[in-house]
Structure 1
Amino acid sequence: MKLLFIFLAISVGILFLWATRSRKKKIRSRFISRSNLSFEELYKEYFLKDFPDKELVRELLEHVASYLDIPVGVLRPNDSFNKELKEEKGWEFDSGFDMLFIEMEEMAKKKDVDIESIEINTLKDYLKTMILLY
């Protein structure tokens, strides 16, 4: 009986690791055709014009990238939360990705800022809203 329990525990662990790896691979495949730019290149090419606070942009992009487990250098301002940045089906609640928006809502409450009417569809929208809350 003890061996059966150990076997089942190991099997579940292996299955979880395989599913997690598969999820990460699917998300990364969305960005495979993009150059992985250094942060300096990324900021200069895509973010400098709209976001002058380079270090805050770095912090926010690293935060988003960490939830998706992708390099910061493949993110682009027009990446959509409904397409490129969307969590894989079945992982929506387990990945922690929703924490980006929960954290945003908590910051808005603390700052007494109403963000209900703000549409956040793209990474650029997310950055603009978060910068408003800092």
Structure 2
Amino acid sequence: MFGFFKKEKKSKPQVQKEVEELSDEEKTVLQASVEELKQALSTSMEEENQAESYEKLGLLQDRLHQTDDAISSLEKSLELKLSIGDGYKKLMSLYNSKRAEAARNGDDTGIEKYMNKMDDMRQIAKKVTLGG
């Protein structure tokens, strides 16, 4: 009658992953920073400083679209020191992207692998927030 109770059909918005495009100059600067951090990590430093350096390295590698390297560095950071900072958030995001990619490819093993990794991340968050 008046259309008050009709449900509007909404189309689902297309989700597009926003990829940061870097200029050649930005890539060069970021790559130089990556190399500096790798060099620093090859020297002896305290675990806490190592954890922080691996986190920074992983975040830089992500910006350079070096996803697998970023995951490796961020995982190493969390092995050295549990934290739920920027590195934790980025790693969770990367795991979720990898899981979604596996789902698009019909890779059940990949889906399970990254779901398990995301579960592990939730356990880290519990440990950190509960202090245990």
Larger Cα Rg: Structure 1 or Structure 2?
Answer: 2
Q: TM-score, normalised by structure 1?
A: 0.29
Q: TM-score, normalised by structure 2?
A: 0.30
